[in-house]
């Protein structure tokens, strides 16, 4: 029901079953990991834009995600939650900064 929900501290009854049938998290709010999105990622959305394009480029990150249609260059600002629901797949990923844990002198 909650897609990419992860489990945190669960409340178990004496029978070993969770009190909440749809979530094993404390309370009824699921613990959902945010989608890993970076600037210049190209995503395919579930429904086409009126111009006929399915592919969009991410141009803004934050609580709201800014995307630009690759067909007609129309800009749209979506709340992160709605963006995560609409994404079907990543067409291409922007290069990520590598994390170097070794200390070089």
The model's confidence at residue 100, banded by pLDDT at 50, 70 and 90, is low
pLDDT of 86 strictly over 90 = yes
Per-residue pLDDT of 31-75, as tens digits, reads 667 788 999 999 999 999 999 999 999 999 998 999 999 999 999
Per cent of the chain over pLDDT 90 is: 52
Burial state string for 4-34 with b = 16 or more CB within 10 A and e = fewer than 16: eeeeeeeeeeeeeeeeeeebbbeeeebeeee
Helical residues (DSSP H) of 45-100, grouped into ranges: 80-86
For residue 90, give the nearest of 52, 40, 31, 33 by alpha carbon.
Answer: 40
* Mean pLDDT (whole number) for 94-103: 71
């Amino acid at each position: 029901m909650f897609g990419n929900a992860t489990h945190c501290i669960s409340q178990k009854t004496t029978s070993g079953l969770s009190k909440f049938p749809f979530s094993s998290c404390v309370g009824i709010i699921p613990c959902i990991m945010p989608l890993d999105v970076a600037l210049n990622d190209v995503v395919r959305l579930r429904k086409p834009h009126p111009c006929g394009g399915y592919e969009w480029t991410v141009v803004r990150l934050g609580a709201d995600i800014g995307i630009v249609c690759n067909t007609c260059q129309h800009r749209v600002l979506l709340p992160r939650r709605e963006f995560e629901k609409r994404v079907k797949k990543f067409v291409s990923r922007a290069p990520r900064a590598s994390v170097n844990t070794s200390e070089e002198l």
